[in-house]
């Protein structure tokens, strides 16, 4: 599932095409994806101007001049792809419709943005913009890891005394919004912390040290266009390439990349998800 860096990369790709443009036609081709679409979604979107394209955690947020916000979750395999617009040096013509093109936005600047989702685990909803913070998708989220509300004091306070594994705690969207399995594995490797260590048994100094590491890992991934493992593509259709920088994720039984380390990457399952770590570097 796309994590914060992938969604932020998609947002940045869509913004030049959608911000300030009017949706001349919204074509909604099914009743819903993971959940039903809101009533009359096509009518509510057609003719609306996109004022701002934002992101909260793993959700794209499309603020409209109708005082509504379209909330988009890419799910397991969702993609927002652009055609009919100049992207860098290349002009992408509108492709023929595909089976899993579920929602299509035709913009007044000639661009088309297509939401394609083969597995149909994505989601879209509309809410009044002023009520966005209270929406069921948004109200449960913790602070953004790249924002000012996420800091050393906050994280130390939230994890103090917790008996849950540090990997599980960092995946809790109510503690930190947007972190997923890939990037938590990479963060804990850089921090030298075993994923199964209980959060409350890790010193405050080491917990505080996670904050800049989390920011560095996410920033590096965004700079690389995210990680493409199976279905993820950027808005221009290109792959992200942060997966080429993985130090532990998906590298089971391979040698640790730390100089002079004799350890190998191991894998355990926590909460149904694979955790990758170095048997020597992470304690």
CB 182, CB 171: distance < 8 Å: no
* Catalytic one of 58, 112, 190, 251: 58
Domain limits of the chain? 4-134, 152-278
Instruction: Respond yes or no: is residue 2 known to be catalytic.
Output: yes
Please, what are the averages of pLDDT over each run of 10 residues along the chain (283 residues)?
Answer: 86 93 97 96 98 97 98 92 68 72 95 94 97 97 97 98 97 96 95 98 98 95 64 47 74 95 96 96 95
Predicted confidence (pLDDT) per residue in 47-76, tens digit = 999 999 999 999 999 999 999 999 999 998
- Note if 136 is an active site residue: no
Cα–Cα distance for residue pair 146/234, rounded to 1 Å? 20
**CATH fold for the domain made of 152-278:** Helicase, Ruva Protein; domain 3 (1.10.8)
Give residue 151's region: left, alpha or beta (phi > 0; psi -120 to 50): beta
What pLDDT is recorded for position 239?
Answer: 43
Please name the residue ranges forming H helices in the chain: 4-18, 41-45, 152-159, 166-171, 181-191, 204-223
Q: Which residue is catalytic, options 3, 6, 8, 68? A: 3
Quick check: is 3 catalytic?
yes
Closest-CA residue to 6 (of 151, 184, 178, 250): 178
Per-residue tokens: 38: 């809101």
CA dist 222 and 227 (Å) reads: 9
Exactly one of 162, 206, 247, 273 is catalytic; name it: 273
Q: What CATH superfamily is the domain 4-134?
A: MutM-like, N-terminal (3.20.190.10)
Query: What is the predicted pLDDT for the residue at 235?
Result: 52
Residue 186 bears catalytic tag: no
pLDDT in tens, 92-128: 567 777 789 999 999 999 999 999 999 999 999 999 9
């Amino acid at each position: 599932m796309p994590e914060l860096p992938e969604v932020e990369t998609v947002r940045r790709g869509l913004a030049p095409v959608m911000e300030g443009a009017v949706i001349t036609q919204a074509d909604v081709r099914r009743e819903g994806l993971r959940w039903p679409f809101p009533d009359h979604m096509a009518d509510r979107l057609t003719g609306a101007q996109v004022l701002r394209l934002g992101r909260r955690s793993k959700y794209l947020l499309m603020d409209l001049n109708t005082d509504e916000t379209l909330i988009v979750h890419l799910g397991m395999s969702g993609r927002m792809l652009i055609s009919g617009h100049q992207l860098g040096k290349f002009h992408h013509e509108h492709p023929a419709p595909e089976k899993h093109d579920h929602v299509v936005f035709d913009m007044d600047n000639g661009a088309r943005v297509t939401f394609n989702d083969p597995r149909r685990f994505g989601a879209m909803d509309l809410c009044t913009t002023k009520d966005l913070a209270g929406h069921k998708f948004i109200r449960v989220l913790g602070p953004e890891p790249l924002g000012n509300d996420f800091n050393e004091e906050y994280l130390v306070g939230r994890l103090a005394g917790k008996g849950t594994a540090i990997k599980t705690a960092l995946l809790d969207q109510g503690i930190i919004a947007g972190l997923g399995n890939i990037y938590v594995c990479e963060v804990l490797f850089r921090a030298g912390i075993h994923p199964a260590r209980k959060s409350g048994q890790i010193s405050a100094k080491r917990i505080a040290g996670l904050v800049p590491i989390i920011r560095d890992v996410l920033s590096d991934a965004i700079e690389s266009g995210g990680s493409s493992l199976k279905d993820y593509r950027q808005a221009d259709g290109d792959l992200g390439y942060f997966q080429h920088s993985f130090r532990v994720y998906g590298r089971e039984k391979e040698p640790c990349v730390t100089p002079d380390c004799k350890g190998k990457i191991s894998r355990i399952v926590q909460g149904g998800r694979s955790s990758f770590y170095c048997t020597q570097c992470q304690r």
